[in-house]
Amino acid sequence: MVSCWGVKNGIRHAEVKMHQGSIKSLAVNTEDVIASTGDDGAIRLWNLPDLSPCAALNTLRPPRPYEAMNISRASGLTSAQKEALVALGALTIPSS
């Protein structure tokens, strides 16, 4: 969680969970925008002081190792292995 506090009045303007897992870094530019990176591999942009997502392209993420690989019909995988593959970008598409 990241909180934005007013320096002069000590009032918290906003609080937001920016990433799944830990936040690795934050950067603030002169336009009152924060860029954040985290364990989820994403780069996200936020407006100050309310920490709302920036309207234009809020999340940048490089492709994960198994991005868009369909493992719906894969056999011999435990549920833990499937969960790990999904976290790395694999898809489980229900059959129709």
Q: Looking at residue 69, what is its pLDDT?
A: 92
Owning domain of residue 73: 63-96
- pLDDT at residue number 82: 93
Looking at the fold, whether 23 and 41 belong to one and the same domain comes out as yes
- Give the pLDDT confidence score for residue 85 in this predicted structure: 93
Tell me what pLDDT residue 1 has: 82
Q: What is the pLDDT along the chain (96 residues), one digit of tens a residue?
A: 888 888 888 889 888 888 878 889 989 887 788 889 888 888 888 888 888 888 766 677 788 889 889 999 999 999 999 999 998 889 988 766
Residue-by-residue DSSP string for 35-93: EEEETTS-EEEEETTT-PBPSS--EE-PPPTTTT-B-TT--S--HHHHHHHHHTT-B-P
pLDDT for res 76:
95
Question: In terms of domains, do 50 and 16 share one?
Answer: yes
CATH number, domain containing residue 46: 2.40.10
Whether residue 55 sits in one domain with residue 23? yes
